[in-house]
Amino acid sequence: MLDSAMKNQTNQAAGMSYPEKGEVLLSVRNLQKHFGKLHVLRGVSEEIRKGEVVFVIGPSGSGKSTFLRCLNLLEKPESGSIVFEGNELLADDINLDKHRQKIGMVFQHFNLFPHKTVLENITLAPIKLLGLSAAEAEDRADKLLEQIGLTEKKHAYPNTLSGGQKQRIAIARALAMQPDVMLFDEPTSALDPEMVGDVLKLMQELANDGMTMVIVSHEMGFAKNAADRVLFMDEGVIIESGTPAEVFDNPKEERTKNFLSKVL
Amino acid sequence: MLFIQGITDFIQMIAKYYPYFLKGTGNTLLLSFLATLLGFAIGMMLALFRINSSKNFLLKLMRMLSGVYIEIIRGTPLLVQLLLIFSSFKDMSRYTAGVIALSLNSAAYVAEIVRAGIQSVDRGQTEAARSLGMSSLMTYQEIILPQAIKNILPALGNEFIVLIKETAIVSMVGIADLMYSAGIVQSKTYQPIPPLMMAMIIYLILTLTLSKGMKTAERRLHRGDVR
């Protein structure tokens, strides 16, 4: 019942059912990014296909979060190319806000709006940006809240919620814009261990429903189960890419082996 | 006995001269109100100019100029600023000059308060709003400023109270505010102290009322914080 409700939601999002994996949704070419003298991205190239669930793993400081944040230009790379649904996001004359509406993002620290209720957090962007009426937006929020099992928190303020609840609301807030891809920046890293399961379950449901997802995470167990593809990054480049079985069980590169031996 | 005599004299003084105090209080209120409003609006603009990180030449220039402006205003006495404005614009009514001087002065302090408030809002808030597709303007309106105002309300209330008290300085250029009225009553009664006491009481009533109002506003804005 939960699944079918969610399927409905995502089908509406695309205006039809999701096409088979294969069509390229996001294409990144040769991203370069410095923070001061630090060279964080040294030519990252990658393609994300529709419906794919891609995990980005790697040691801290490897540039994986920066790579993710470049995908919706929260960080602006100095050079390279990011093509989303056929549009070059690094072009000067692009309406970035319009495209960001289609790229949902979930943060490590949730970043819910503390001065707004759960309902307002979810409906703000759909009302202001998609032109939904308050009633339509509330309807959409109600469905999402039911999916994530937090209907009773509808009128609560974020400060009254637990970390796990906050993160699920944050995911609902992003989903309310009916994005074509969801970016997750270490979504469970700030959670108490007993809260992690709820968030991962929700992400698994999203994946099952065909949502395109790019996930930076340290949850290796979850990556093994949920990922279509795993990217291993180190020192600002993608060292290795493949199915979870390939990367986790049969890593080709020495650095991947080294990293996995420490975390698995 | 002497004390009771003092009280009686005081009441008689008020009974006789209250129209002066009334008029003075009215002018002080009007001045404070206009200066607070204008000062807040200008201060808000200064703050936004000051924190903009645009590479646009004009905005960069505005950032620098507002910084210089704030330093000059905060680094010089209000009295000097008032006299300078008053003397420079001979055609201007003294009330206009008074309002302008007070507003321009208050704006600098408000700007610093607002800037601190905006910078106190977590960067993640901006990122969340922008990632949803909100424009930078909408992000400020909907997300940053409401939180910033909430954070700075105590400091802002304090600035408004300071402003009410500072208006007393305009009596120097002959604006008939509360302080000026006290002066008139002093010269009419040949008594220096009772009129000053009366002025003090009225100032205190004004500032206490304002600070009570600000507390109520704070409480209402903090409704979301219940744990």
Region B82-88 average pLDDT:
91
First to last CA, chain B: 57
Pair of tokens at residue B74 = 């905060």
Region B125-131 average pLDDT:
97
Q: Which chain A residue has its CA at the smallest distance from B144's CA?
A: A113
Q: Which domains does chain B have, with CATH numbers?
A: 2-226 (1.10.3720.10)
Cα(A91)–Cα(A81) distance, integer angstroms: 9
Q: What is the pLDDT of residue A7?
A: 43
pLDDT above 90 for B54: no
- Does B218 reach chain A within 8 Å, measured CB to CB? no
Q: Crossing angle, helix B2-51 and helix B145-166, to 10 degrees?
A: 140
Predicted ipTM? Answer: 0.87
Within 8 A by CB and 6+ apart from B131, the residues are A72, A74, A100, A103, A104, A105, A174
To the nearest whole percent, how much of chain B has pLDDT over 70? 97
Pair of tokens at residue B148 = 């910033």
Q: What is the pLDDT of residue B94?
A: 87
Region B149-160 average pLDDT:
90
Q: Locate all alpha helices (DSSP H) within B52-177, ordered by sequence.
A: 57-75, 78-88, 94-120, 123-131, 136-139, 145-166
Cβ within 8 Å, pair A173-B132: yes
Amino acid found at B123: R
Indicate the helix (H) or strand (E) that contains A127.
helix A118-130
The alpha carbons of chain A give a radius of gyration, in whole angstroms, of 18
Q: What is the pLDDT of residue A23?
A: 87
For the whole model, what pTM was predicted? 0.81
The alpha carbons of chain B give a radius of gyration, in whole angstroms, of 22
DSSP for A178-216 reads: --SEEEEESTTTTS-HHHHHHHHHHHHHHHHTT-EEEEE
At residue B226 the predicted structure's pLDDT band, cuts being 50, 70 and 90, is low
Cβ within 8 Å, pair B226-A157: yes
What's the mean per-residue pLDDT of chain B? 90
Q: What is the pLDDT of residue B56?
A: 87
Partners of A166 on chain B (C-beta within 8 Å) are none
> pLDDT below 50 — which residues of chain A?
1-19
Q: What is the pLDDT of residue A46?
A: 94
Phi, then psi, of B191 in degrees rounded to 5: -120, 115
Q: What is the pLDDT of residue A9?
A: 44
Cα–Cα distance list, A130 to A146, B75, B109, B129, B131 (Å)? 22, 48, 39, 14, 14
Which residue in A100, A111, A160 is closest to B125 by CB distance?
A111
